[in-house]
């Protein structure tokens, strides 16, 4: 049976090096996605990411970093399932960057379909938040998921 795959993409009006840094630098990433990280995304490291809306932290194993084009990591993308996320960046016109996120690994069953819906929404949100942060200095996540804290 084939594995389900999430694919999302969005163009950001910033140079590729700046967008890459916003993804690998925990201080910048905390301005639009996570609340904190145990370190910079570097190949071979296992980081702990925390999110305001969820208790505790989550391990993220960095598999590959190729500046400024690509970051690949594994995390528990669904309960009890280690999934691979590939964030690739492509320079457009010297001052624009196309960011693509691909996550793969779930079976095509009820749990996989639930994951596909939730994480597709999550990665689309990640990209929208990254764009707002990079282009306008806005943290779209701030307060946006407070309702989830008590679930």
Q: Is the pTM of this model over 0.75?
A: yes
| Whether residue 100 has pLDDT greater than 80 | yes
Total domains present in the chain: 1
Residue 147, pLDDT score: 67
CA distances from 110 to 4, 75, 122 (A): 11, 20, 18
Residue 19, pLDDT score: 98
| Whether residue 102 has pLDDT greater than 60 | yes
Write out the residue range of the structural domain in which residue 105 sits.
Answer: 3-148
148 φ/ψ angles, rounded to the nearest 5 degrees = -80, -15
DSSP for 128-139, written as a single string: HHHHHHHHH---
Q: What's the pLDDT band for 150 if we cut at 50, 70, 90? A: low
The residue with tokens 């938040």 is: 129
137 φ/ψ angles, rounded to the nearest 5 degrees = 70, 25
| Whether residue 108 has pLDDT greater than 80 | yes
CATH, residue 50: 3.30.530.20
């Amino acid at each position: 049976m084939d594995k389900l795959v999430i694919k999302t993409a969005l163009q950001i009006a910033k140079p590729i090096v700046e967008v890459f840094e916003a993804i690998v630098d925990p201080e910048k990433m905390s301005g639009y996605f996570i609340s904190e990280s145990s370190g910079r995304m570097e190949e071979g490291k296992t980081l702990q990411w925390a999110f305001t809306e969820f208790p505790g932290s989550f391990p993220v194993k960095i598999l590959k970093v190729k500046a400024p084009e690509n970051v690949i990591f594994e995390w528990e993308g669904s309960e009890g399932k280690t999934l691979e996320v590939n964030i690739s960046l492509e320079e457009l016109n010297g001052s624009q960057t196309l960011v693509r996120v691909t996550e793969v690994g779930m079976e095509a069953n009820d749990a996989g379909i639930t994951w596909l819906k939730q994480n597709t929404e999550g990665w689309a949100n990640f990209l929208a938040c990254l764009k707002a942060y990079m282009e306008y200095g806005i943290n779209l996540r701030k307060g946006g998921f407070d309702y989830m804290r008590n679930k």
